[in-house]
Amino acid sequence: MTIYNPTQCPPASEIDIPALHAKYLRERDRRIKKNHNDQYIPASGKWAEIYEVDPYTPVAPRDPVTGETDVVILGAGYCGMMVAAQLKKAGIDNFYNVDHGGNFGGTWYWNRYPGIQCDNDSLVYMPLLEETGYMPSKKFADGYEIHDHCQMIADTFGLRENALFHTLIKNLKWDPEINRWHVGTNRGDDIKARFVVLAMGPLNKPKLPGIPGIDKFKGKIFHTARWDYDYTGGGWRNPVLDKLGDKKVAIIGTGATAIQVVPYLAKYAGHTYVVQRTPSTIDARNNRPIDPEWYAAQKPGWQEERIRNFHHAAMERLAPHEPDLVEDIWTEISRNVNAELEAEGWPDISMEEYAARREVMDYRVMERLRARCDIIKDPVTAEALKPYYRYLCKRPASNDDFYPAFNQDNVQLIDVAETQGLEQLTENGFIHQGVEYECDCIIMASGYEVTNDLDRRWGIDTIEGREGISIYDYWRDGFQTFQGMMAHNFPNMFFTGFTQAGANASNSKTFIDQGFHIGYVASQAINRGIAVVEPSQDAQDAYIKHLRSVAVDTSLFANECTPSYFNNEGDQKKKRSIFGEPWGEGYYAFEDMLGAWRSEGELTGLMLTPESTLEPAE
């Protein structure tokens, strides 16, 4: 059944779309900083602790690992775990998950800030629910529930004995003498791995805002990815921040993380300054428990079907009569457009007309979201919190307690749009419009490295393939891959995530399928006595040529957005986007293409070197 409530969004006839569009562009222009991504400070040097220290689990001493293994997977978050589970299913048991954290979970290990929940439908986002037999407690699961489910996945697939935690890979070097990768770490390991899988996820390294005077502040500073409960009081599963009652706290940022944190600061801190440069879109949460009876009645394959439906609604197009199973802010525009088409008897419209209808619906939905700010009593604050850009220029959020917090006397918005960020930090606080505001603690909700400089983003000193070629040089001007997962000059290495592959609206689904494909190639090589697999230059060139011939150009959309990590902070010259170069024919078309390639069983396009020789052969 299609759900559509036309009274929720103002009709198009009441919206001056050209005027709004012009306002969107003005809002973008006044925010674009000349130094784009360089405005941020890496969590290294003086700030290394913000990334390197694990406040949650003591580091256990261990001897360096120096033996051989079939696979080293960099990462034990969702991506690394999905790859590991798929390797097991493909019959490969001999591997390591190497991770900086003290347990499985990645994002869901590190992020323990108060209020943390997934903003995506848990029945779509939490992977392998049918295989682990797990029912999420509610539509938007708490961070610790997702973390606990990660442990369940690790136990279900027997991943624990393969994990090397509290370990950072620092060097990866291909050794043609032995056809193995040397994997060097900060724990003195030198593992010789037949295959290496980079599964670090897109947002793993906290970054700091480059506010002048950031070194001067004498109070407490921490990043949301390393929440300091010793300082705030409370704990991850019980965030009663009872040590903040006499504190003045500033939180910098109003992205998806800060939206979840602010209601807790509002509740517990003596005073909270919310420093905002660009507002988020924040819908009603409508969180609700999962009904066990409904859950038990689902037929095998239900999660796959729900993920596919979510992907259609969130990133492609719902088919005529296709219901919206997820029904939240991520799927609203598709849902509403389909409801219009249903009311008109499903006219046969072109892609162009469909896109034009989406564009109008975008303005209508954004008007609805902006109107949500009007519950704030102070009209200046309400107006400053209204987001003026297209839906999906920034990651959408939903929260019931964020806007009401601004009706409390102890919560104050510091709107720094005009100055493109907070002007200055001082010993005692911060300066805004020439006035010093004292505070005890500054919480950086300032996001993660997404710079084009992959070495800064990944934190691995060297990745050297054949003849010492560095991946950082090789990919300096953009990705060069085969199937988005392998690259010429980098034998037996696999890449994951947003490269030149299909991208599902649910990252965990992309990781499951990439893990499956990697498991297939690696197990074929092992079972067929092939020492080295590497895409030929010709196959890689042909792949990239086709990828670019079917690419969907989203640059106009991205260029009109307010700056953020979604569009390289408004830097139109950068070659690489956080989303890579996704397969333009759609996610499931990409999966079908890979499926057909696997069915051929020939590993076409890969140069295969048998165990007995060291020279590659076509």
**Where do contacts with ligand NDP occur on this chain (CB under 6 A)?**
117-120, 203, 209, 211, 252-258, 275, 277-278, 395, 416, 421-422, 445-448, 564-565
* Category of 391 on φ-ψ map: left (φ > 0), alpha (ψ -120 to 50) or beta: beta
Least Å distance, CB 445 to ligand NDP, is 5
Nearer to ligand NDP, 251 or 337 (CB): 251
Nearer to ligand NDP, 183 or 211 (CB): 211
Phi, psi of 530, deg, nearest 5: -100, 125
Phi, psi of 111, deg, nearest 5: -85, 110
Least Å distance, CB 118 to ligand NDP, is 4
What is the spatial distance between Cα 196 and Cα 423, in angstroms, rounded to a whole number?
A: 44
Distances (CA, A) of 54 to 79, 215, 575: 20, 22, 34
Least Å distance, CB 563 to ligand NDP, is 6
What is the spatial distance between Cα 177 and Cα 105, in angstroms, rounded to a whole number?
A: 36
Nearer to ligand NDP, 31 or 194 (CB): 31
Least Å distance, CB 270 to ligand NDP, is 22
Least Å distance, CB 28 to ligand NDP, is 11
Helix axes 302-315, 587-600, angle to 10 degrees: 130
Q: Which residue has the tokens 């975008």?
A: 362
Nearer to ligand NDP, 382 or 425 (CB): 425
What is the spatial distance between Cα 219 and Cα 438, in angstroms, rounded to a whole number?
A: 10
Least Å distance, CB 338 to ligand NDP, is 25
DSSP state of 486: B
Strands 462-464, 493-495: pairing kind: unpaired
What is the spatial distance between Cα 543 and Cα 549, in angstroms, rounded to a whole number?
A: 10
Nearer to ligand NDP, 446 or 489 (CB): 446
Nearer to ligand NDP, 76 or 211 (CB): 211
Least Å distance, CB 69 to ligand NDP, is 32
Nearer to ligand NDP, 498 or 565 (CB): 565
Least Å distance, CB 78 to ligand NDP, is 11
Nearer to ligand NDP, 120 or 452 (CB): 120
Task: Output the six-digit token pair for 122.
Answer: 């848990």
DSSP state of 99: -
Least Å distance, CB 381 to ligand NDP, is 16
Task: Output the six-digit token pair for 606.
Answer: 């890969």
Nearer to ligand NDP, 339 or 512 (CB): 512
Task: Output the six-digit token pair for 17.
Answer: 């779309």
Cα radius of gyration (the chain): 25
Least Å distance, CB 212 to ligand NDP, is 10
Strands 95-98, 163-164: pairing kind: parallel
CB within 8 Å of 291: residues ≥ 6 apart: none
Determine contact, residues 193/67, Cβ cutoff 8 Å. Answer: no
Nearer to ligand NDP, 392 or 469 (CB): 392
For 425-484, the DSSP string reads: E-SSEEEETTEEEE-SEEEE---B---S-HHHHH--SEEE-GGG-BHHHHTTTS---BTT
